[in-house]
Structure 1
């Protein structure tokens, strides 16, 4: 059961990057502009929630409960979808409530999401059945959605990306947070395309591979090749080096679209370095999935005092 037709995403283009340095090296880079899907439910968040929320509606759920941090793209996406579909949304937020809410959490509240803060130690228990039962007793009956919207139901929505790519690619790059987007892409990827996931988090080597494999076990996955990049996190989740901040700040001047420093900036920066150091064969065709998340720029600026652009 798909989401009601009253909530439809925008069609998004496949855009070729015009970059002299890339062309010198005989490399074509195209960007799947999923950041344009929806102002709040952008990129992979729309795709991962599509069939999850449809399942909740089919089960007559009226309250959706999910998990995320203070700058979570997923929390905001679910808040916006729930508001549009007249559902109650509850966000279980990692960490104690700050004196001032992040821009993301403020936006969640504006969409009517109820925020429930838990300690970081309790948050680590979010997947444990006992903790979930305790949570439901406190919050009331609801449909639980995992952090990031990542579950077996998320994979088909992500897999639909391949139907929108009208040309073959040698490589496809995506940001990785919980592994759901990469797993969805791998599940039906053509064998000739190597998938590369760039982790935005630190310290998940080995564990993220297991998480992706576990998700793939629930699908009839293709025999495509995939790998994870663990050393492009720039300090960890929601952190960035000065080099990354500079790259993200300068990017829209040349390419006329924004990157965020939490996810997509790390993907493009890593790929850019690879191309300039001639790590691709001549005539390679590369697609990068822009997973959205631009709403997080404001919170990043607020937290770190940076001045990254939030609009063109």
Structure 2
């Protein structure tokens, strides 16, 4: 295996959103553009992968296998990293591989990832020895990276996101918002923001699974001795039907956003976060003077 772990990552810029509703409520809304850090490896996924890739290289693995759905940003980014660093990648995809492939899976395949589908019943057993032994018999030995790349190494990598959150003095402080699919990124961010009492972290679940991601975030926070984490909350109200699902309200918001902003969104993650964020703004959730930082986690294809 060859390749250099250190990709040329561009420090993410912060863009301000200017809309009448924000002025009316004396709110500031900025966007942390993780979608702009690298042409192939974008968003929060690099922060989740970096420490895993270092571990893989240190252990001498030449092949990485991971799991994901048909629209998994993790699968897409893993394929891009594998291409750049010359690591063989295998993506085990939930459900059928419908032709033509969607843009996520098409990109992964173009980067050299071997795609293999399994049915949903088998997918639910993805960490059982029976399935893993079957996969090793088929593909040879591999380093197993969990679905979404979510493990302690990933969470530790996401702690670095706290460095991009500006310090705010005075009241009411600031709020950091991000979409949540596994809770690992949010868990790492909360850990990285320890002792930052002026910050509140809001995660917008993209899953139709009330309470699940809040429990996952809590699990990652409590996995280490995280003293004085900031206030945090996972909001389950804006999944719009579940993962990769949509509805008329989300579609209307996406049209509104496209007409009023030059920052591109997608409907699986970032679209739902901004949809929920603006619903909260309209409801008066945020006190006047709050500075909101929305993390754009990528996922644009």
Q: Is TM > 0.5 for Structure 1 vs Structure 2?
A: yes
Distance 1:127 1:192, change over 3 A: farther
Tell me the equivalent position of 1:216. 221
Tell me the equivalent position of 2:82. 82
Distance 1:30 1:245, change over 3 A: same
- The superposition leaves residues 247-279 of structure 1 with CA deviations (integer Å, 9 ceiling, x where unpaired) of 213313322111111111111111111112212
What is the deviation of 1:6? Answer: 5.0
Q: Does structure 1 retain, via aligned residues, the 8 Å contact 2:5–2:85?
A: no
Residue-pair matches, total: 292
What is the deviation of 1:85? Answer: 0.6
Question: Among residues 166, 172, 177, which one is paired with 2:176 in the alignment?
Answer: 172
User: Counterpart of 1:138 in 2: which secondary structure?
Assistant: helix
Tell me the equivalent position of 1:307. none
Q: Does structure 2 retain, via aligned residues, the 8 Å contact 1:27–1:286?
A: yes
d(CA) in 1 for partners of 2:103, 2:17: 31
- The superposition leaves residues 101-134 of structure 1 with CA deviations (integer Å, 9 ceiling, x where unpaired) of 2221111111110011111011111233443233
Tell me the equivalent position of 2:124. 124
Q: Give the 5 Å matches for 1:85-234.
A: 85-168=85-168, 169-189=173-193, 190-202=196-208, 204-222=209-227, 223-234=229-240
> Does 1:285 pair with 2:291?
yes
Q: Does structure 1 retain, via aligned residues, the 8 Å contact 2:258–2:264?
A: yes
User: Counterpart of 2:299 in 1: which secondary structure?
Assistant: coil
Tell me the equivalent position of 1:263. 269
Tell me the equivalent position of 1:302. none
User: Counterpart of 1:166 in 2: which secondary structure?
Assistant: coil
d(CA) in 1 for partners of 2:33, 2:125: 35
Q: Does structure 1 retain, via aligned residues, the 8 Å contact 2:161–2:192?
A: no
Distance 1:166 1:172, change over 3 A: closer
- The superposition leaves residues 137-166 of structure 1 with CA deviations (integer Å, 9 ceiling, x where unpaired) of 322111111111111101222111111233
- The superposition leaves residues 73-110 of structure 1 with CA deviations (integer Å, 9 ceiling, x where unpaired) of 11110001001111100000101232432221111111
Q: Does structure 1 retain, via aligned residues, the 8 Å contact 2:5–2:54?
A: no
d(CA) in 2 for partners of 1:188, 1:48: 14
d(CA) in 2 for partners of 1:281, 1:217: 29
d(CA) in 2 for partners of 1:171, 1:273: 15
Moved more, 187-196 or 24-33: 187-196
Long gaps (5+) in structure 1: 296-312
